[in-house]
Structures are given as C-alpha cells and as structure tokens.
Amino acid sequence: MHTTVPVVFLNGTADTADPPANVAGATATMPNALLVSVPGTGHWTLSNAIDPGCLLAATTAFFQAGRPASPAPWNACTSVLAQDLVPFPAS
C-alpha cells in the first residue's frame, strides 16, 4: 500500500501477534510513516499499565498536528520505558 498520509506504527518489541518486523518496510511505501518500537512490551502499548503517559501524549499530539510525527518525543518516551519496564514474557 502506498500513501503519503502520516502514520505512526506503535509496536511492542515482544509483540508476538503483530511484531515490529511486520511494519519494518512500511517507510518504503509510506514516506510519512514513523515506526516506534516500544521496548519490552506486548500488543497493548498504550495500556495504562505500560504507558506512564508519554506515549499517549505523543499520540495525542500527532493526531492534533495532522502532519508527520517528529521522532523526538517518541524516542524520549521509549528511552524512559526501556529503563522502567519489566520485559513482557515471550511465548
């Protein structure tokens, strides 16, 4: 699928249902796509149990802006999560 519509893919690095590899090539056909790998999480990366608020804030800002997402807030958030989360068990 080719589109120039801004898209953000949030994938947990331990997501067995829809792993980051499934969207790894998305930027080839979606030039305004941003791939965000959320360390140690499974499928529900925006869950209150996982997100300290930064993923939801970045997602909300992306929707409100209506343009391609800057990677900076996502990178800052995933860095915090990488330090704070206990990795999701892989099956």
Does some domain include residue 2?
A: no
What is the model's pTM? 0.77
Tell me which H or E stretch contains 12: strand 7-12
Does some domain include residue 37?
A: yes
Does some domain include residue 89?
A: no
CA distance 85 to 12: 12
- Encode the chain (91 residues) as per-residue pLDDT tens digits: 899 999 998 888 888 888 888 889 988 999 999 999 888 777 776 665 566 678 888 888 999 998 888 899 888 888 887 776 655 555 5
Does some domain include residue 48?
A: yes
Please give the tally of structural domains in the chain.
Answer: 1
pLDDT at 40: 78
Domain carrying residue 38: 7-84
